[in-house]
Amino acid sequence: MLPKYTRPEQLGTEKQTFLITIAILEGRHYAWPNMDSVVIVQAFGKKETTVVVHNSDCPYYNEYFTFEKKATPEKIFNSEITFTVVQPRTIFRGRKVLGTFKVDVATVWDEPDHQFYNKWAVLNAPTKKYTPGARGYLKVNITLITKNISPTIPPTPKDVEIEGNLLLPHSLATERSKANFEFDIYKGEHFYANGKAPTSCVEISFSGNKGRTTLQKNTSFPVFNQRIVLRDMFPPLSQRIYVKIFFGKTLHAFNLLNFKDLISEVEEGVVPCFGPSFLHFYENENMEEYKGSLLLGIKTKLAFEVTDRKKQTNIVSIPPCSRDLFPLVEIRLFCVIFECSALDKRFDGNVIFRATIGNEIISRDIKVKNLSDKIGVRKINRNSRFLTIKNKKPFLSLALNAIDCRKKLYNFNMLDKILNTMV
């Protein structure tokens, strides 16, 4: 039987109840021999703890926990599940953390049948330093359940060895290796705060790590030219890359990139990359208000390419992006207004038309352009108005410099046509 899968967009946007079931089965090869151990599981803001297993570096737990929450699918998929193995406190010593493991709910949802079954999670050191090696392995079951989705028990895997049954995303990868995820932040455009040029910075958060650029003061077109390096395992167990724009300490806008869109699940050995390209920010998912654009690129370097391992997060300067990647072309737009009716009653006297593109901010010190002549308003009734436009029509023209994307569009259309022909 093929595993079932429901796409996230099929769940809608309404609040619904989600249930996470977690089974902690056993541990293996703990770095501290003959230790007393406890597993702490955190999900949906709640915490559960197993009983203490004494004097064993290969303990058996066999405990089962459930976590329930009612929220929108977007909020559920953005949350994380954390496993922490600790040595409990005694009279003679304090509590010590052996290792931790994190996976976001979106990764669990993308698995066949929305679950990890009898998988070995690799425990990593809980410090911010880039320490090599596993601190142990934890065998777990993780299942995500919601309305109209019933859990199933998959067949027992043939490979019972730890190395062949690691908890990894559903792909061709058979093991995880250390990697640097490099986020190149070049520049921003159209950053405005109430019509003024703000002091801004960009923050990248991914897989529990985050980094922030330096502040660029009093400019609507900031130039950062900085690289944020976040160190984690590849393939990562977090899918959401959050890109946030801050005006001072206030969050102005954010956007997210899905890690699955940056990597091929069919070809082995392909590392994720993106851009350099502009990422656009809006007030909400309906794109009702434009908040600005950010030019960034993403690269991945695996363990054999990594040289600096001192810090989990690093920020370095980079050269500016080549102008040849984004050639500009002048675009002229012309607009003729033939008719205007059903105006609200607040439009009385004379009306002027104005044409704009993008997020153009009007200042009292700047003369406003692209205006039509004044046109008189006439009443239809007490609540409606219309304009008397005769033979001479209002005419507006607008010129702007925009990025020339024609070559990319031609290539995209050509590849899309080839794909449709082959299918």
Does residue 418 belong to any structural domain of this protein?
A: no
CA distance 193 to 203: 18
Q: Report pLDDT for 397.
A: 82
Is 69 a domain residue? Answer: yes
Using 50, 70 and 90 to split pLDDT, how confident is the model at 319?
A: very high
Instruction: Give the domain range for residue 308.
Output: 178-323
Q: Which of 323, 341, 376 is the last residue of a domain?
A: 323
Average of per-residue pLDDT across 138-147: 91
Answer yes or no: is 1 within a domain. no
- Is 173 domain-assigned? no
Nearest to 74, CA basis, from 293, 265, 283, 256:
256
Residues 6 or more apart whose CB falls under 8 angstroms from that of 48 comprise 22, 40, 41, 42, 65, 67
d(CA 136, CA 56): 12
Same-domain status, 220 and 286: yes
Assess whether pLDDT exceeds 80 at residue 83.
Answer: yes
Q: Token pair for residue 47?
A: 């915490």
Residues 267 and 221 in one domain: yes
- pLDDT tens digit string along 231-268? 888 888 888 899 999 998 899 999 988 887 887 665 66
In a shared domain, residues 193 and 212: yes
82 — phi, psi (to 5°)?
-120, 130
**CB within 8 Å of 188: residues ≥ 6 apart:** 200, 202, 216, 221, 222, 224, 245, 292, 293, 294, 295
Clarify whether residues 139 and 158 are in a common domain: yes
Closest by CA to 84, choosing from 42, 49, 40, is 40
Which of 335-339, 366-370, 371-375 is predicted most confidently?
335-339
Q: Name the percent of the chain lying above pLDDT 70.
A: 85
Would the pLDDT of 417 be above 70? yes
Residue 41 belongs to a domain: yes
**Do residue 188 and residue 308 come from a single domain?**
yes
End residue of a domain, out of 135, 167, 199 = 167
Mean pLDDT of 373-385: 77
pTM of the model: 0.75
Domain CATH number, residue 23: 2.60.40.150
Residues 85 and 150 occupy one common structural domain:
yes
Judge if 162 and 224 occupy the same domain.
Answer: no
- Is 281 found in the same domain as 213? yes
pLDDT for position 226: 95
Confidence of residue 2 (pLDDT cuts 50, 70, 90): very low
Four-residue CA torsion sign, 159, 160, 161, 166: positive
pLDDT 10s digits, 177-199: 788 899 999 999 888 888 788 99
**Res. 363: pLDDT tops 50:** no
- Assess if residue 17 is contained within a domain: yes
pLDDT value, residue 132: 59
Asked if residue 286 and residue 187 are part of one domain, the reply reads: yes
Backbone angles phi, psi at 403, to 5 degrees: -70, 130
On whether both 305 and 364 belong to a single domain, the answer is no
- Same domain for 18 and 162, yes or no, is yes
Per the structure, the count of domains in the chain is 3
Q: Token pair for residue 46?
A: 């709640």
Given a cut of 80, whether residue 361 has pLDDT beyond it is no
pLDDT for 243:
94
Question: How far, in Å, CA of 33 to CA of 70, rounded?
Answer: 41
Mean pLDDT of 48-77: 92
Rounded mean pLDDT, 285-298: 82
Q: Which residue has the higher pLDDT, 131 or 211?
A: 211
Residue 73 pLDDT: 86
Average pLDDT of the chain is 83
The long-range contacts involving 300-305, CB below 8 angstroms and separated by at least 24 positions, are 300/179, 300/180, 300/181, 300/182, 300/234, 300/271, 300/272, 300/273, 301/179, 301/180, 301/182, 301/271, 302/177, 302/178, 302/179, 302/234, 302/271, 303/177, 303/178, 303/179, 305/180
Is the pLDDT assigned to residue 308 strictly greater than 60?
no
Residue at a domain's end among 271, 304, 323 = 323
CA angle 152, 158, 161 (to 5 degrees): 110
Same domain assignment for residues 183 and 134: no
SS3 417: helix
Confirm whether 2 is domain-assigned: no
Higher pLDDT, 161 or 2: 161
Instruction: Locate the DSSP E strands across 89-237.
Output: 96-104, 115-123, 136-145, 177-189, 200-206, 209-212, 223-234
Q: What is the pairing mode between strands 240-247 and 60-71?
A: unpaired
Gap between the Cα atoms of 335 and 163, Å rounded: 65
Q: Residue 76 falls within a domain, yes or no?
A: yes
